[in-house]
Amino acid sequence: MRKKYMPALIVCLLILVVGLIGLGVHVVMKYTPTKTHMDLNEYYGQVADGEAALILGTEVLEQRGLISGEQIYLPLEVVNTCLNQRYYWDSENSAVLYATPSELFSYPASQEAGGEVWLKDGTVYLSLSFIKQYTDVDTYVSQDPARVAIQYEFSDIQTVMVLKNTYVRYRGGIKAEVLKEVKAGEKLIYMEGLEEWTQVATQDGYIGYIENKKISAPEQTACEREFQTEQYTYLSMDQPVNMAWHQVTSMEANAYLSEAIQNVTGVNVISPTWFSIQDNAGNITSIASSDYVAQAHERGMQVWGLVDNFSENVQTTQVLSSTSSRQNLIRQLIQAAVETGLDGINVDFEYLSEDVGIHFLEFLREMSIECHRNGLVLSVDNPVPEDFTSHYDRAEQGRVVDYVIIMGYDEHYVGSEEAGSVASLPWVEKGIQDTLAEVPAERVINAIPFYTRLWKTSGALLSSEAIGMDAAQEAVNTNQAQVYWNNEAGQNYGSYELDGDTYQIWLEDAESIAAKVQLVPRYGLAGVAEWKLGFENSSIWQVISDNLQ
């Protein structure tokens, strides 16, 4: 009997052994990390000859760089968007301009590689050495496939330290393909923490996952940098700015300055509307007067001449996008300022379309150079921040000009679909807060209105007219309007009926102006501006002075 069952027993034992071996192999295979490296051509995408994959920080870009010999070139669009927006393509002269705080440099483009700027098939490329001349970056160049990793963020970043030799993998999981082996002590950029894995980026351009147990907790890291570049300095007043705009429409009108300011107190800057762009070649009309400047100086006021783009014959994009027109405009403004003894230039270019944004900023950079060479304060007027005005780029403005001015009015304007305040307090305050997210407070001036709108509703028709403070109070008194303080608007509100029509008004008066001016010290702003002389009540100047400190 024993011999009869022995073969069957052996077979069962063999089956058991094979099963145990299979199970062991399965367990080993399941829990043994793979060391298979990922095909980098799959990871970075196919890279054509003469091209290089680009990795910026923690992102692999779709755009490609170019390689010629040992030189590497990056597309200008990538550089401007991600690294340094001050490389400006001068299409008129086929060159790249770069404005430092004190000088404007021009680098001509070549149809061949070898120089700083390569114009290839209509696309502008900058050499890596040219980029590093003005931009703080670290670069890592690798082959197979050709690629360039660029690190450009060195503050407010989080890093983790590798605790033991391990791998960065394409995905979380020990069976995911290996991107790179990393050594203990190496620092990686922290991106996102998961339950058992963390997404990281290596300095040389791999973006993948590493086991949590093999890295330290993320910590804030600031890198010490040796890169130095010329820094902007600013011409600023040693007291809060109190600027009044003076609308001057003719040379003869300059003679009425003394009358316009006879009751004015506390104002230390006056800005006459003297200059306008005349044509698309950048020529200007000027009604500047040295006698006006001398008289203002006697009253202790600086004079910042205003330049606008209001002429119907002018296309602002055409003027500012042409280097010859742009520099002609700057040259004429500086000449007029020097000849009349101005203290500054106030730029009031309004209704700027999105396509003019980069040219407007280049104008300000170039204008800043010439203003500071001549000791002139440069200020720029801006609408209250909205999504559709992001191309004004107040952050860049704040880096290159002396003062960024918020035009804190026209919340409701002629053509508005509903009646409302010209400048309600919450709306003004939000405009300040949004501007301070981009510009240092000490270079922000908030402008307030001396006017309001008298709204008339006649049937289904809504219309309005802008009136000054005295005229507004007269309308209220004459028509015995019901007036009360509106907490929501931070203004006195009045309404009345006349000849079957309804009139509404949100008053600018001592109470509303005081509330707006109080925002200046509250937020540490540089000062206040007022539009415009002639619309004010004579007693309002003391209200501004009392609340500005």
Locate tokens 């490329």: which residue? Answer: 125
Confidence band (pLDDT; 50, 70, 90) for 20?
low
- Three-state DSSP class for 191? strand
Residue 55 β-bridge partners: 60, 149
Asked if pLDDT for residue 29 goes beyond 80, the answer is: no
User: Do 288 and 305 contact (CB within 8 A), yes or no?
Assistant: yes
Burial 119-140 (b: 16+ CB within 10 A, else e): bbeeebbbbbebbeebbbbebe
Question: What confidence tens digit (pLDDT) does each residue in 156-183 have?
Answer: 889 999 999 999 999 999 999 999 999 9
Report the distance separating Cα 93 and Cα 106, nearest Å: 9
At residue 28, the pLDDT reads: 45
Judged against a pLDDT cut of 60, whether residue 391 lies above it is answered with yes
Give the contacts of 45 (CB within 8 A, at least 6 positions apart): 53
What is the pLDDT, as a whole number, of residue 17? 60
| Mean pLDDT rounded to a whole number for the chain | 94
Dihedral class, residue 185 (left if φ above 0, else alpha if ψ from -120 to 50, else beta): left
Residue 2 has pLDDT above 60, yes or no: no
- Tokens representing 187 are 């620092």
Helix segments in 341-390, DSSP class H: 357-373
d(CA 236, CA 463) in angstroms, rounded, equals 41
Output the CA torsion sign for 395, 400, 405, 407. negative
For 465-514, write each residue's pLDDT tens digit.
Answer: 999 999 999 999 999 999 999 999 999 999 999 999 999 999 999 999 99
In angstroms, the CA 459 to CA 214 distance is: 74
**Mean pLDDT on 247-260:** 97
Does residue 236 come out as left (phi exceeding 0), alpha (psi in the -120 to 50 range) or beta?
beta
Q: pTM to 2 decimals?
A: 0.91
Q: What is the pLDDT of residue 11?
A: 65
* pLDDT of 26 over the 50 cut: no
Least confident of 60-64, 99-103, 225-229, 252-256: 225-229
Among the residues of 438-527, which ranges form H helices? 469-478, 510-517, 519-523
Q: Band of the pLDDT at 222, cuts 50, 70, 90?
A: confident
Per-residue pLDDT at 487: 96
- Looking at residue 225, its pLDDT comes to 87
Question: Best-predicted range by mean pLDDT among 148-157, 193-202, 216-225, 278-287?
Answer: 278-287
Rounded Cα distance between 305 and 269, Å, is 10
> For residue range 273-327, what is the model confidence (pLDDT) as tens digits?
999 999 999 999 999 999 999 999 999 999 999 999 999 999 999 999 999 999 9
Q: What is the pLDDT of residue 16?
A: 66
**Torsion, CA 188, CA 194, CA 196, CA 201, rounded to 10:** -20
| Cβ-contact 195, 143 below 8 angstroms | no
Length of the chain: 549
Residue 473 has a pLDDT of 97
Please state the rounded mean pLDDT for residues 356-374.
98
Compute the distance between CA of residue 157 and CA of residue 511 in angstroms, rounded to an integer.
Answer: 46
Q: What is the spatial distance between Cα 90 and Cα 109, in angstroms, rounded to a whole number?
A: 10
CB count within 10 Å of CB 470 equals 14
Strands 123-127 and 138-142, how do they pair?
A: unpaired
Q: What does DSSP assign to residue 418?
A: S
Strand bridging mode 275-277 / 284-286: antiparallel
- CB hemisphere CA count around 287 (13 angstroms): 17
Q: Stretch 426-438: mean pLDDT, rounded?
A: 98
First-last CA distance in the chain: 113
Report CA dihedral (459, 463, 469, 474) to the nearest 10 degrees.
-40
CA 39 to chain centre: 40
**For residues 356 and 322, what is the distance between their CA atoms, to the nearest angstrom?**
11
pLDDT mean over 417-438: 98
Specify the DSSP class assigned to residue 443: G
- What are the structure tokens assigned to 461, written together? 């028709």
Average pLDDT over residues 7-32: 59
Within 112-172, residue ranges assigned H as helices are 128-134
The C-alpha atoms of residue 271 and residue 369 are separated, in whole angstroms, by: 21
Identity of the amino acid at 222: A
Contact 495, 502 (CB under 8 A): yes
Contact status, residue 527 vs residue 521, Cβ threshold 8 Å: no
Q: What is the pLDDT of residues 335-352, one digit of tens each?
A: 999 999 999 999 999 999
